[in-house]
Amino acid sequence: MMSILLCVKSTSRLSASVRCVATKASPKLQLYSYGDGYLGTLGQDNFDSLSSPKLVKSLAELDLTKLSCGWSHTGVLDANGSAYVFGRTHHFRSVIRAINMHRMVPFFMKFINTVGGEQAIEAFRPIQVDIKEPVRDISCGAALTLYLTESGALYSNGGNAYGQCGTKNESSSVWEPTKINIPGKSSKVASMAAGFQHALAATKEGQVYTWGKGERGQLGFGTVNVSAPQHIVALRQKKVVKVGAGFNHSVALTDAGELFIWGKLLGADVYGRKTGSDQITPRLVQTAAPVSLMKSSFFHTFVVTDDGKLWCMGRSQASQQTEVANRKYADTHITPLAIDNSFLNNRKIIHLGGGINSTTIVTDDGKVYEWTWELGLQPLEVTKGLDVVAYERGYGSNMVLARN
């Protein structure tokens, strides 16, 4: 930890003096990565897998502030508002092909990576994104990235097969960051989220707009795909302060701590009972206390309420044991399921991290815990020795923002 000299001038009627005291400056935040490397998503200039966090050296000189991890790429921001991305940033179909090949014939995937090298992916190492003003937030989905600037403008690039870039057209990809035109009285955005193949934005007035793939109700107003932001009329009387997006579902949090959810298999009748259908318009989630934090992974949403309790709702993962009779099928929880919060022991949660089938919880002492439907809550010992501030997961990749 670096020491700096802080000098304070004191004055009185009789004398004036300067008192200097040594103080310690907080070390800057740096990015560490580990996990599967065959997708080239670890930012380490190679396709190697790592069993423990390793510093991403190309970003080591920067003071990082924000982290977002998509299906197969990562985005970070530094203290100057510059954005950097790496991994499979634009071509989702190539990601799916690579995953399937690695499952069936991993040696063939290794051969392709050896032949193709860094040209096999869009960003083999972190590259700075060309946006003319400082970026204050970033969100990564499935080959989709959203950039929110200090002025409230929203930009996007990446895969665009369903219009998820919000640029009023459908195409294979949008390469350069392109400004999204948000309709309404004010186009300034306060919160945004990139999902699997759709996206959301909440304006500073609290109005919500969605675009992209909508076939399972994830856009909040029907089952169509749209290539430009559309207003969710059902939420027009609410002031939404934060939005989230998963694989085929979306969430919105209001200034009153109300949580709304909609999308695939989240339908409920008037009594709150599961119908097995898609939730086409936003539905209020009944909670005993206002919601203070929420984070959507690809298949579920994790929630913290003001009374310190933890909850989760969404789709659990299927699992296959050695015997077919022991196969565990996926189930969708449309109401919040209580999660044991005794591990907190008066500590505060400073970050909820998304993943595919997991949520990571970072506490104010720099510790990380992982929650899954299958294993419940577990401490992540792999981050021991790091003072973690944020932790996000992709498909096999793990990104850690920490002080060492």
Task: Note whether residue 9 is domain-resident.
Answer: no
User: Residue 373 is part of which domain span?
Assistant: 27-403
Task: Note whether residue 8 is domain-resident.
Answer: no
pLDDT band at 320 (very low <50, low <70, confident <90, very high): low
Q: Residue 107: pLDDT above 80?
A: no
Q: Find the range with the poorest average confidence among 119-128, 183-192, 227-236, 263-272.
A: 119-128
What's the CA gap between 97 and 88, in Å, rounded? Answer: 12
Task: Note whether residue 94 is domain-resident.
Answer: yes
Q: Find the range with the poorest average confidence among 6-20, 69-83, 197-211.
A: 6-20
The residue-averaged pLDDT of 264-283 equals 95
Report the domain count for the chain: 1
Task: Note whether residue 84 is domain-resident.
Answer: yes
Q: Residue 55: pLDDT above 50?
A: yes
Torsion over CA of 302, 192, 74 and 333, rounded to 10 degrees?
Answer: 20
Q: How far is CA 278 from CA 164, 177, 262, 333, 342, in A?
A: 20, 32, 8, 13, 34
Q: Residue 90: pLDDT above 90?
A: no
The residue-averaged pLDDT of 385-397 equals 96
Look at the block and give the residue holding tokens 């001038």: 9
Counted residue by residue, the chain has a size of 404
For the chain, the straight-line distance linking the first and the last C-alpha, in angstroms and rounded, comes to 9
What's the CA gap between 223 and 216, in Å, rounded? Answer: 6
pLDDT band at 3 (very low <50, low <70, confident <90, very high): very low
If one compares 36 and 104, the residue with the highest pLDDT of the two is 36
pLDDT band at 24 (very low <50, low <70, confident <90, very high): low
Determine the pLDDT at residue 372. Answer: 95
The residue-averaged pLDDT of 167-172 equals 94
Say if CB 205 and CB 152 are below 8 A apart: no
Task: Note whether residue 15 is domain-resident.
Answer: no
Tell me: the pLDDT tens digits for 115-158? 777 766 788 899 999 999 999 999 999 999 999 999 999 999 99
Task: Note whether residue 4 is domain-resident.
Answer: no
Determine the pLDDT at residue 22. Answer: 44
Q: Residue 325: pLDDT above 70?
A: no
Task: Note whether residue 13 is domain-resident.
Answer: no
Q: Find the range with the poorest average confidence among 11-25, 184-198, 254-268.
A: 11-25
E strand intervals along 246-290 = 249-254, 259-263, 279-285
What's the DSSP call for residue 326? G
Helix ranges (H only) for 73-208 are 92-104, 106-116
Task: Note whether residue 50 is domain-resident.
Answer: yes
For residue 381, the tally of other CB atoms under 10 A from its CB is 10
Average of per-residue pLDDT values in the chain: 90
Give Dmax over CA atoms of the chain in angstroms. Answer: 89
CATH number, domain with residue 95: 2.130.10.30
Say if CB 244 and CB 218 are below 8 A apart: no
pLDDT band at 275 (very low <50, low <70, confident <90, very high): very high
Q: Per the confidence metrics, is the pTM higher than 0.95?
A: no
Reported as half-sphere exposure (CB side, CA atoms, 13 A), residue 15 has a value of 3
SS3 100: helix
